Structure 1
Amino acid sequence: MTGYYDLVLGLIPLALLGLTGALTVAGLGLTTAVPVAATVSVGLIGHAMFVNAPTDEGASTNASANVAPVNAD
């Protein structure tokens, strides 16, 4: 099953290379197209890290409840 972060990982190089190529073909210089495409890639990374941040589902439960008590005998 493909999740959100798998899609982001696939879109990063696709945005960098594809957008650079498209902007270059559209007439922008390579020295302008690369930073524009890199900004889009950084935006994807920022969205994945800060807007839709990964959460640990197990962190909300009490971890010590699953641990057996220590036998002092």
Structure 2
Amino acid sequence: MAQYYDYVLGVIPLLLVGLTGILSVAGLAFTAALPVGAGVAALVIGHALFVSIPTQPTAESTEPTQRVKAE
């Protein structure tokens, strides 16, 4: 199942290329549209790194649970 960071990795190139293309077609010069697209992609990366902080699994969650036999 895809998680948040999988979506972020997919959205980065879409924003960079797609937003730049849309702004260029809309009449903005390519040299002005490219920094706008890159800026929005950078904001998404910043959100993924600093707002929705990636966490590492703890030692407790990575160890298998032990079952106790009923005697």
Question: TM-score per shorter chain, which class?
Answer: 0.7 to 0.9
Between the aligned partners of 1:57 and 1:3, the Cα distance in structure 2 is: 15
What is the number of residues matched between the two proteins?
61
Superposed displacement of residue 59, structure 1: 5.6
Cross-structure match for 2:22: 22
Moved over 3 A (4+): none
- Based on CA coordinates, which of the two structures has the bigger radius of gyration? 1
Q: 1:10 to 1:58 in 2, by over 3 A?
A: same
- Structure 2 residues not aligned, in runs of 5+: 62-71
How much is the aligned-residue C-alpha RMSD, in angstroms? 1.5
Q: Aligned residues: percent identity?
A: 57
Superposed displacement of residue 43, structure 1: 0.3
Between the aligned partners of 2:50 and 2:59, the Cα distance in structure 1 is: 18
TM-score, normalised by the number of residues in structure 1: 0.78
Superposed displacement of residue 14, structure 1: 0.2
Superposed displacement of residue 56, structure 1: 1.7
Between the aligned partners of 2:30 and 2:10, the Cα distance in structure 1 is: 23
Between the aligned partners of 2:59 and 2:23, the Cα distance in structure 1 is: 44
TM-score, normalised by the number of residues in structure 2: 0.80
